Amino acid sequence: MSSGSPSMQLELRSAHVPGEGNERRPLAALCEDEPHVHGELAWTIGERRVPCMGFWGPDDVCLGQWWDELTGAVAALSDRQPYTLDSCEQGDPAFLFERTDASLHLSIVAGIGGGAPHPEWQNAEFAWDDLGAALRRFKHDLRQLLELKGPPTLPAEWKKRFSERE
Ligand SMILES: [Zn+2]
């Protein structure tokens, strides 16, 4: 544990294939035409849960998008470039990551889709090392879940994600 920063965790709590409206279909329904996996990805920094991640609610986080975006964030931040994670969905804010050596700062800022900045989430600090560790755990857990409960043949986009080098 690095001293000073609150602990950061990313916990996969559920996953489903989104259907019409609020319908949640089992992971076995995943196919090339329905490649989205949504679910609850609980992100906490210290005692606080990061809000605004799911479009229809906390268990509607687009897990493939977060997989790709957080992978992009780690790559950019490794080069000390800031990274903005923006779903561009109507009403969604964006998540801005900025790195200072061993620390990261997260701010919820205005999104392209019109979401507003979050006044209570500006420059929330956590350890840089925690992001990579949390992302690896999320990927491991999601992969295990899809291999266990998904269809025998996964859509190409998921095969591609699972073939990434660690
Ligand atoms: Zn989605």
Q: pLDDT of 37-58, one tens digit each?
A: 999 999 999 999 999 998 888 9
Asked whether the predicted pLDDT for residue 82 surpasses 90, the reply is yes
Q: Quick: pLDDT tens for 12-38.
A: 999 999 998 889 999 999 999 999 999
Cα 5 to ligand 1 centre (Å): 31
pLDDT on residue 3: 56
Cα 51 off chain centre by: 12
- What SS3 class is residue 164? coil
**CA atoms 81, 85, 88, 90: torsion sign:** negative
Cα 68 to ligand 1 centre (Å): 12
- What SS3 class is residue 59? coil
Asked whether the predicted pLDDT for residue 126 surpasses 90, the reply is yes
Q: Contact at 8 Å (CB) between 12 and 41? A: yes
Q: Where are the domains of the chain?
A: 8-162
Cα 144 to ligand 1 centre (Å): 19
Cα 12 to ligand 1 centre (Å): 15
How does residue 88 score in pLDDT terms, banded at 50, 70 and 90? Answer: confident
The pTM is what?
0.94
pLDDT on residue 165: 73
Cα 54 to ligand 1 centre (Å): 9
Cα 87 to ligand 1 centre (Å): 10
In the beta sheet, which residues pair with residue 41? 12
Task: For residues 49-76, give the mean pLDDT.
Answer: 94
- What SS3 class is residue 107? strand
As a whole number of angstroms, the distance between CA 18 and CA 50 comes to 22
Cα 29 to ligand 1 centre (Å): 14
As a whole number of angstroms, the distance between CA 65 and CA 51 comes to 16
- What SS3 class is residue 38? strand
pLDDT on residue 6: 84
CATH architecture for segment(s) 8-162: 2-Layer Sandwich (3.30)
pLDDT on residue 166: 61
Cα 3 to ligand 1 centre (Å): 36
Cα 66 to ligand 1 centre (Å): 9
- Residue 76, C-beta contacts closer than 8 angstroms, at least 6 positions apart: 82, 83, 97
Task: For residues 147-159, give the mean pLDDT.
Answer: 97
Cα 63 to ligand 1 centre (Å): 7
Asked whether the predicted pLDDT for residue 1 surpasses 90, the reply is no
